[in-house]
Structure 1
Amino acid sequence: MRFPKIAAATSVVLLAAACGGNSESGGGEADSLTVWVMGTSQEPLVEYFEDTEARFQESHPGVSVEVEFIPWPDAQESITNALAGGDAPDVLEVGNDQVSSWAAQGALMDITEQVEGWDAAAGIDPKALEYGTYEGVQYGVPWFSGVRTLYYRADWLKELGHEPPETWDELVEVAEDIKAEYEVPGFAAPTDFTNGIASFIWSNGGEIAVQNGDTWEGRLTDPATVEAIEFYAGLTTDGISPQDYVGQNELIALADMANSELGMYIDGGWALTSMEEQAGDPSVIEDIAAAPIPGAEGIAPAFAGGSALTVFTTTEHPDLAFDLLTVLGDEEGGKGYADVAGFFPAYPHLLESEEYQEDPDRAAAATQMQNTRFFPTTPRWTAADQDNKILPSAVLEIVQGGDSEKVLEAANEELTSILNEPVE
């Protein structure tokens, strides 16, 4: 297995000559296949791919697997260049919320029939598998997932006689007690935080948008959605969450949590490493624990972020590329990558094991992983959320004093319009 220039350069796009074009053309077996993985190289990941290559070569001896790490900020340009005829992979990792967008642009191969004949697919979370489709066609297979949970100061809650909050009422009660006792904000509710806001909406029975036939309908004006958004915005206007977080995303709360300046906030497991780096007193990290996100009446659903494995449309060996995808994405391969990368496998029954449920660092997320949701499966979701920030902007306007009914009516019209724009 070769990792082109990985040790020397992980912050730039690593494009090697080895790709689909390095394989034999025509009907012969390929000499090599290339996998593009998003992120940067780390020794545990290198070891994982070495094991993957060995497993793959049990069925395809002599075919090497070449792995190239593409930093996430460079992914758009790299895939676009590959579509234009540049160096391209055979197997490609994309964010699970990007499958429909790249499928619409012609970057991904239709793997519907292959997935239907793949035994391991029966054990994958069906909702996650469906999220890899676009217009009824399967383009991606879940590789791993990650969810956000509620981080809290376990020592403070113990001193206050509280368990981690499981409902909105309990969240407010615990946050108020933290502020009264420790003179720091009890909870952070940043307004530029679609993933967090969505959990509040879903937990109250609301929706962001639903598909009716070929048409998308915004649901930001539905009573359950409105109530959830008003509650989330009210956390700031009522003083539970400080004004400093208005207009900000969850990253602003990370340093506060790591330095005993905040009692609770929502973030993913990947945040712990950053907390360790930013903590003035490293021992504080030992007192930070996680629990499922509290909802209106119980655990709130969380967006199941993660990545999908796809076959790039220009591969010269589609069947072989899909075989490699199955080695990466079956229970052994999917769990193996999730473990070394700090995420969770896409196979729900694996999360029920003691390995996840009894590990204090992973138990909350493993439980949260069993209550997940997904954003609208359309290429236009990126335009609605990342480009136009429709939901965060509406929450921001309400926090700043806007009339929620008028704000959400306008936001809903914009959301519906953007989701129904033609896909270029």
Structure 2
Amino acid sequence: MNHRSFALLGALLLSTGLVACSSSDDPSDGTAGGRTALDVWLMRDSVSAAFQEEFEKGFEQDHPGIDVRVQIQEWDGIGEKVTAALASNDAPDVIEVGNTQVAQYAQSGGLTDFTGRVDELDGAHWLKGLAEPGMYEGKQYGIPYYAANRVVVYRTDLFREAGVDPAGIKTREQWIAATEKLDRGGDQGIYLPGQNWYALAGFVWDEGGDLAVRSGDGWKGGLDSPEALRAMAFYRRLQALGKGPKDSDEAQPPQAEVMAKGRIAQIIATPGGANVVTQNNPELKGKLGFFPIPGKTAGTPGAVFTGGSDLVVPVVAAHQEEAFTFIRELTGDTWQKRLALAMSYVPNRTTLAGAVASDPGAATMAVGAANGHATPNTPQWAAVEARNPIKDYMTAVLTGRDPRSAAAEASKTITTTLNSGS
């Protein structure tokens, strides 16, 4: 996942404060009193201090020969740090990485291949949006850890005033009809910035298209496909039912802050966005709800981009089997359920969706996560996001340019970037 552009979990985890914590401060060379010292890098906001302490205590009781030593890492600069670690002889044993970052690390040959052990981890039930980007060239390097995705955050009072029942919004056309009713007087039916390309990607996947597809030995941009053009046409219809800017994304200005200031019926965000809204406008506390992004048909929720993390093990890690044991426990039923409840995450497997039934936001995410997707699985996708011709394309269409020509231009840029190796 691109953690800067997605800002996926910052608002979601407002109540957690992370501190580095470990079971031992003994700076040994890998053993402590006959125990194996297992070095683990987890990312800021991945776990709370309370959950980390609980997990370490439980893990070490069940595996007394292993001394877990967690170091909390910052997202800023982590790519360079992980790359250096993989190339060194002193890498940690387990590293948390963004799910869409796995391919670039696997490409270097620096990650342990877990393909032969997927069944031991109940991999048949992994969320597709975590499992697929954890693969590279048909091999499984990243083990799904946790997920989060966008939902519709809505004002219950504005829905009630407009006579709209959110329970009746199951399809995209029903969503449009409801939003038209909500877009009245001084109210905005939805605040949807013109460059929310993650939302567009979901509509593209709903239509059966993709942002880029394999073409021979390379890649081809997919925005000019009939499926993607239909997705952009739907985005344009939805975006018009509000006053969102056509030339910026959901972070500029922060859409939750915009919702807090006006009579805006809906935004597309992670559930944590609701916390930001009420922080900026306490009068809206208790007036926000969630429903999954609707799909084309009532039986299938809308496709969503699955953000989140995978766990990887460097090839040079000193304690391969202990690292696998750590991953098996942290991604297993018991601790996935506890993590999901503690952090309002979506568990890594579809069979565990019920674990968050008591959390409205997380439960809504879990519904969408069943139809979760990831960006094209290539190390070069990061270069596409850095330049992001998708945003420019969306603005061009929303400001009147011919969709076909704008899509062809953006697709050509994506094709060139993905095949350049840059």
Question: Is the pair's TM-score, using the shorter chain for normalization, greater than 0.5?
Answer: yes
What is the alpha-carbon root mean square deviation over aligned residues?
Answer: 3.1
More deviation, 296-305/410-419: 296-305
Letter matched to residue 198 of structure 1: A
Tell me what 2:243 maps to.
242
The amino acid that maps onto 1:172 is I
The question of whether the paired residues in 1 share the 8 Å contact of 2:277 and 2:284 is answered with no
Q: Relative to structure 2, which stretch is displaced further, 342-351 or 29-38?
A: 29-38
- Whole-angstrom distance in 1 between the partners of 2:145 and 2:302: 23
- One-letter amino acid of the structure 2 residue matched with residue 129 of structure 1: A
CA distance, structure 1, for counterparts of residue 380 and residue 35 of structure 2 = 36
Q: Secondary structure at the match of 2:392?
A: helix
Rate the CA distance shift 1:41–1:329 in 2: closer, same or farther, 3 A: closer
Partner residue in 2 for 1:382 = 382
Q: Which secondary structure does the structure 2 equivalent of 1:177 belong to? A: helix
Query: TM-score normalized by structure 1?
Result: 0.84
User: 1:255 corresponds to which residue?
Assistant: 257
Change (3 A) 1:179 1:125: closer
2:135 to 133, 141, 144: 133
How far off its partner does 1:145 sit?
1.0
Number of the residue aligned with 1:7: none
Mapped pair 1:173 → 2:177: yes
Cα distance between partner residues in 2 of 1:321 and 1:360: 34
Kept after mapping to 1: 8 A contact 2:191/2:242: yes
Whole-angstrom distance in 2 between the partners of 1:119 and 1:105: 25
Q: Distance in 1 between matches of 2:405 and 2:238?
A: 20
Gaps of 5+ in 2: 1-16
Structure-2 residue corresponding to 1:225: 228
Number of residue pairs the alignment of both structures matches: 401
For the 8 Å contact 1:188–1:262, the answer to whether it is kept is yes
| Offset, 1:12 | 10
Deviations 1:357-402 (A, max 9, x none): 4643433222212222222111111111x21112222101212222
State the match for 1:158 in structure 2.
160
Task: Report the TM-score when normalising by structure 2.
Answer: 0.85
Match of 1:5 in 2: none
Q: For residue 349 of structure 2, what is the aligned residue in structure 1?
A: 347
Q: Which amino acid aligns with 2:236?
A: A
Which shifted more, 386-395 or 75-84?
75-84
Match among 20, 37, 44 for residue 42 of structure 2: 37
Compute the displacement of 1:302 (Å). 0.8
Q: 1:276 & 1:330 partners in 2: Cα distance?
A: 34
Q: Is the CA contact 2:170–2:297 (under 8 Å) kept in the aligned structure 1?
A: yes
Q: Distance in 2 between matches of 1:233 and 1:151?
A: 19
Moved more, 360-369 or 155-164: 360-369
- Counterpart AA for 1:173: A
CA deviations 1:296-355 (Å, max 9, x no partner) are: 44431111211101112331111111111111111112222232222111121221x3x5
8 A Cα contact 1:397 1:407, kept in partner: yes
Residue of structure 1 in register with 2:208 after alignment = 205
Aligned residue identity for 1:22? D
Deviations 1:103-128 (A, max 9, x none): 12344222222334x15334433563
Distance 1:168 1:126, change over 3 A: closer
Give the match for residue 3 of structure 2: none
Paired residue type of 2:247: V
Task: Evaluate the alpha carbon distance shift between residue 126 and residue 240 of structure 1 in structure 2; reply closer, same or farther with a 3 A threshold.
Answer: closer
| Structure 1 unaligned blocks of 5 or more | 1-9
